[in-house]
Every structure is written in C-alpha cells, then in structure tokens.
Amino acid sequence: MSNPVIKCESVYKIFGENAKKMLQDSNGNVDAKTFQENGCIVGVNNASFEVSKGEMLVVMGLSGSGKSTLLRCISRLTDATDGKIFIEGQDLLQLNNKELIELRRNKMGMVFQSFALLPHKTVVENIAFPLQIKGIKTEDSISKAMDMVKLVGLDGRENYFPRELSGGQQQRVGIARSLAVEPDIWFLDEPFSALDPLIRKEMQDEFLRLQDKLQKTIMFITHDFDEALKLADRIAIMKDGIIEQLDTPANIVLNPATEYVRKFTEEVPREKVLLIEDVMDPSTNENIGDLKVLRDEIIENVAEKILTQEKTVAVIDNNNKIVGSINPTKIINTVFGGRKNNN
C-alpha cells in the first residue's frame, strides 16, 4: 500500500494554561475529568489514524466531541499539544510559517460550516481569492475561478455578492473557493449543517458527484450520522476527544465497538447501509434459485427482488462468479431484526 496522505500518531489537543505539562505528567493516559478539574479542556485525546489517497474519512460526533478540533489540528489552524501529523510524509508540526503557507496554498482546501465568505467580494472574486493570494495574475485567476463557478453550477451569478445568495448557493461558493487551487486534500467542516434538509440532500448529492469526478482525499466533519453513512468510505466516531471507533459504515453498523457507537447505530436503517456481501452466506448451498445479485449491491436496492423469491438467491461478483448465497429470511432479519424490541 502506498503512503497514506494523512497520518496521525497519538495526537492530543488540550486547551488550558499548563496543558503541556499536565500531558507530560499523565504519560499519555489522559482523563478528561481530572484535566477539567485542573482547568484544562481536552479537545482531542490520543487520535491515531491514516487516510489514504482518494479516500473519504468522515469524522462523526456530537457537538463538543472534538471533531472540529481534530480537523483544525490537521490543517494546523491550531497547534496540536502533542503527537505527530504527517501530510504526504511531511511532518506538519515541523513546518515553519512559510512552508505552512506554501502547503495551504497548494495542497489544502477547506469548507466551513458558516460558509466564511468575504462579504466585500463578489462570488467570482471570493473564489479567485486563494489564487490571488498565491500571486496569480488577476485575469488568470478570474478565468480559473469562472471554471469553478461552472463546476458548482453558479453560472450567471458570478457577480453577485454573498449577501445576495441563499445558504445553499453560498456554500457552493465556499466549495468552489476551496477547490480553486486544486488541492489534494479537502477538509470539510460540517459544510451542510447550516442548510435546511432539502437543500442539504441536494448538496450531498452534488458533493458526491464532485468527488466522483475529482477523487480528492477528504476529511469530512459532521454531526449527522445519516450524512456520514451516505458519504463515507470510513467513519470515525468521536466522543469526548476520543475516537471510539474507526471503520467502514457496514462494520460500524454490524459490529459497534462500544455502547456509545451501538446507540447511534440502533436507529439506522440497515438496508440502506449494508451491502449484500455484508450479510450473505459465503458457502454456496444446494438450493439456489435463478436470480443472481451482485455482492456490492446495497440491500435496499435488491431487497424487493430477493423477497419475491422463495429459494435462496445466488450472490455473484463482478466477474459473474458465484461467491455466496442469501436467503430471503436473512433479508427480513436484517431489515426488521436487531432493533430495540425484538433483539
């Protein structure tokens, strides 16, 4: 496997006056309560993980769980108290100011919850801003920005000011701005949380479309578990600064690591998350019917077909080779079983 794009090794972020000293004394075993008694607040507690190229890692947690702090450590908007962060093998915390600016100008883009547009610049000027900061000529940056305007579907509104746009449109500008320098790494801090549900869904679809095209390495922060399931390659669930579990959506739903994670997954409609391969029987038994389903199909999409069968259904891979089987009752159990009452 190639080198991970983002790599964190026991990252700590603790707010407070003598955070550093307390962290040293605690030897890595940080207890939020004792720290709080001493006037320190634990933001991120021993976070270690890797994000590989083209992967989308969604960090999920309720407010105050430290997810935004973690993101700000990795973008170095705040300095981590301890630990190591590597961006494409470069030690982020060792960079001096100039190198850091260079990194941000070329490698990183970030989208913010409240859009954070510059009120005195038009849509296209906002998008061109990071380019102009880099020192690119005005005409070039504007023409590049116009491409971005088209990419996010705002053509015709490029000369509007942020105050004249709706929330969804403003966030499109935010997204376009973060993509203007063609970054490899894309940070999104609750980008859709301030939008109302319909627009949010629209923006999520739009976002998936973009990612399909661009294949960036992404860290996406959200407090919405459904959003995390919909978008993520892998999900990290955070609580009180600790990453409780980091796994694929299916694994999180099927095998919650802690009680806290289990509570989240309880209400999740499994048929929308799990793939056939997650629930299939790997042994191919005798009584297989004519219907074949792909192993990486989401259950919801094929459930109806399977349930109309009486026999067990064959599961095939992309090469049309049978890799397992699935019984209609298994589907019923997956969708309706395992919930609070009948567990």
Partner 1 sequence: MEFIKKYPKLFQWLFLLTVFFALCFAIDVPETYKFIRGQAEFVKDPNQSSYVFLGKEVRYYAFNVFWRLPPLLGWLPIWINDSLFFLMNEWMPIEFWNEDTQEFKTRPLVLQISRNLTAFMTFLIELIREILLGGLETVVAFTSWDWIDKNPWAELPGLPWTIVAAGSAILAYNLSGKGLALFAGLVMVYISIFGQWKPSMQTLSFILVAAPLSFIFGLGLGIAAFKSKRVEKALYPILLVMQTMPQYAVLVPALVLFGVGDHAAVIITMVVAVPPMILLTILGLRAIPPEVIEAGRMSGCNNWQLMFKVLIPTARRDILIGVNQVIMVCFSMAVISAFIGAKGLGFNLLLALNQLNIGLALEAGLCISLIAILLDKMSLAWANKQTDYFGNLTFFQRNKNILFFAATVIIGIILAYIGTFLFKGTFNYLFEVPHNKGISTADFWNKGVDWIFDTFFVYIKAFNTWLIQDVLQPMRALYLRMPAVATLVLVVGAGYLIGGIRSALVVCGLTLFIALSPWWDRALVTAYMATFGVVISCIIGFTVGTLCFQNKHSTNFMLAVCDIFQTFPSFVYLIPVMMLFGITDTSVLIAVIVYATIPATRYTIEGLRSVPIGLHDAATMSGVNKFQRLTKIEFPLAFPHMMLGLNQTIVFALFMVIIGAFIGTEDLGQYILKALSDKKGAGIGFTLGICVAFIGLIFDNLIRTWVEKRKKHLGID
User: Residue 184 CB, nearest distance to partner 1 (Å)?
Assistant: 14
Nearer to partner 1, 100 or 323 (CB): 100
* Contact between 93 and partner 1 per CB under 8 A: no
DSSP annotation of 2 reads P
Packing angle, helices 167-179 and 197-214, rounded to 10: 20
Q: How many residues bind partner 1 (CB under 8 A)?
A: 36
Which window, 16-24, 95-103, 265-273, 305-313, contacts partner 1 (CB under 8 A)?
A: 95-103
Distance separating alpha carbons of residues 306 and 303, to the nearest angstrom:
5
Nearer to partner 1, 56 or 117 (CB): 117
Report residue 233 CA to chain centroid gap.
8
The one segment of 38-46, 69-77, 221-229, 325-333 that binds partner 1 by CB under 8 A: 69-77
Residue 283 Cα distances to 28, 128, 255, 289, angstroms? 45, 56, 21, 15
Verify binding: residue 67, partner 1, rule CB under 8 A: no
Query: Pairing state of beta strands 56-60 and 217-222?
Result: parallel
Q: Is 105 in the site for partner 1 (CB under 8 A)?
A: yes
For the range 28-37, what are the long-range contacts, defined as Cβ-Cβ under 8 Å and sequence gap of 24 or more? 30/241, 32/240, 32/241
Name the minimum Å distance from CB 189 to partner 1.
8
Name the residue nearer to partner 1 (CB basis): 63 or 342. 63
| Window contacting partner 1 (CB under 8 A); options: 157-165, 215-223, 240-248, 330-338 | 157-165
User: Of 7-15, 71-79, 278-286, 303-311, which segment contacts partner 1 by CB under 8 A?
Assistant: 71-79
In sequence order, what DSSP letters do the residues of 150-182 get, joined into one string? Answer: HHTT-TT-TT--GGGS-HHHHHHHHHHHHHTT-
- Which amino acid would we find at residue 337? G
Q: What is the C-alpha to C-alpha distance for residues 316 and 206, in angstroms, rounded to an integer?
A: 31
- By the rule CB under 8 A, 15 interacts with partner 1: no
Nearest CA-CA partner of 176 in 153, 159, 197: 153
Q: Considering the complex, what minimum distance in angstroms separates the CB of residue 274 from partner 1?
A: 36
Q: Which of residues 119-148 bind partner 1 (CB under 8 A)?
A: 119-122, 129-130, 133-134
Partners of 315 in beta bridges: 293, 324
CA dist 227 and 60 (Å) reads 9
In the complex with partner 1, which residue's Cβ is closer, 141 or 265? 141
- Write the binding mask 160 to 199 for partner 1: x where contact by CB under 8 A, - elsewhere: xx-x----------x--xx--x-----x------------
Closest distance of CB 35 from partner 1, Å: 23
- The residue with tokens 């739009």 is 206
- List contacts with partner 1 (CB under 8 A): 72, 75, 77, 97, 101-102, 104-106, 108-110, 112-122, 129-130, 133-134, 159-161, 163, 174, 177-178, 181, 187
